[in-house]
Amino acid sequence: MISKVKVIAAISGGIDSSFALALLLQHGYDVIGCHLLMSDNHEEDAERAKDVCHFLNIPCYFVDAKENFKNEVIKPFINSYSRGNTPNPCILCNPSIKFKTLFEMLKKLGADFVATGHYARIIENNSNYHLARGKDSKKEQSYMLYRLKKEWLGKIIFPLGVWTKAEVKDKAKGIFGDMFSDVRESVDLCFLSERKTLRNFISAKIRAKKGPIISSQGDLLGCHEGAIFYTVGQREGLGLSNGPWYVLSIKEHDNTLIVGRKEDLYRRTVKCFNPHWLERPETGEAYTAQHRYKTTPKPVVLYCLDNDQFIVEALETPFWGVAPGQSLVIYDGEIVMGGGIIADSTNSSSKRNLKLKGGKNTCHLC
């Protein structure tokens, strides 16, 4: 008797991962559910994951990842906010917690693949595997996955990559009935309870200090309640007259917000550090780049590239609201090349200042 291909499938307790499990079963895989316990705020999700696996008649393992999540995601998240940056915890969590745990389970249980409910795709070309955008442009999540290990790609299945969210909701109802009718859509900050806002969470971890709000021309406009409560591009909560005003930058060293008008937030050149590449890019080549989740990618040229950082310049329209701490993800068509953490940006062109030294992989701007 030929044994089935065994898959370790993440089950969060939400509709996406649950439908992904059902799809894997329909395609003949031997599926094992895996629910990661990452905080004390989601007992209902754990119970629902258990119910889904029972309904589908598959085993379900519960892995306590709370301590690792605290050290690998929450602490860096807090540290980044304390420096005036705007981190994306999901980008940290996917490689260091979720997929790392799934691959540990794969090895432990002798499985062949891991699977999640992400809206992304794996494309194979002559035994070379690439991460690619999902079909649903409004939901696709390849941006969140760019820091996965290249060697993992050949062992990952994304069942929802060719589906839209609307299709998933429709088909899932036919399988699970009303099981998810009162379940809210998952949010990026999964560690927050329904009763706690990001502001509450941050203020409990970092002491907020009042400070000045200064215009880009140097005029004192008012006072903020704590720079940790703001991000670049934000206009709410400033309490200033003669608006609208937008946060242009956060000066952590002197607890100052710099504000300006909407048009002041356009940036043509973006510098990133801590790059992670799934495919090696080339300087001088045209790609597209996405500077926030769910923003439209823009055509760019990569002008600087070394092991520690890189710089891109927008070819057509500039980026808007580029926030240090977020990720800039580079695409070649639908293929994810990789990306890095945004360090800073400017609205001036780097072309006239560019001077390569020692070959195409170094330049004085880096």
304 catalytic, yes or no? no
Beta strand extents in 2-97 (DSSP E only): 6-10, 30-37, 60-64
Is the Cβ–Cβ distance between 211 and 227 less than 8 Å? yes
3-state secondary structure of 280: coil
What is the residue type of 132? A
Residue located via tokens 């395609």: 27
Are 311 and 302 a contacting pair, CB within 8 Å? Answer: yes
CB 249 within 8 A of CB 232: yes
Kindly report the backbone phi and psi dihedral angles of residue 161, in degrees, each rounded to the nearest multiple of 5, phi listed first.
-60, -30
Residue 300's closest CA among 315, 311, 310, 285? 315
Do 257 and 322 form a contact (C-beta atoms < 8 A)? no
Longest dimension (CA), the chain: 78
Q: Which residues contact 113 (CB under 8 A, 6 or more apart)?
A: 5, 6, 7, 8, 29, 106, 155, 156, 157
Q: Which of 34, 53, 60, 93 is catalytic?
A: 93
Residue for token pair 């795709």: 121
Instruction: Specify the pairing of strand 120-125 against strand 128-133.
Output: antiparallel
CA 186 to the chain's CA centroid: 14
Catalytic residue at 53? Answer: no
Q: Give the residue from 263, 323, 315, 264 showing the smallest Cα distance to 293.
A: 323
Distances (CA, A) of 62 to 66, 128, 183, 191: 12, 32, 21, 17
Catalytic center residues = 93, 190
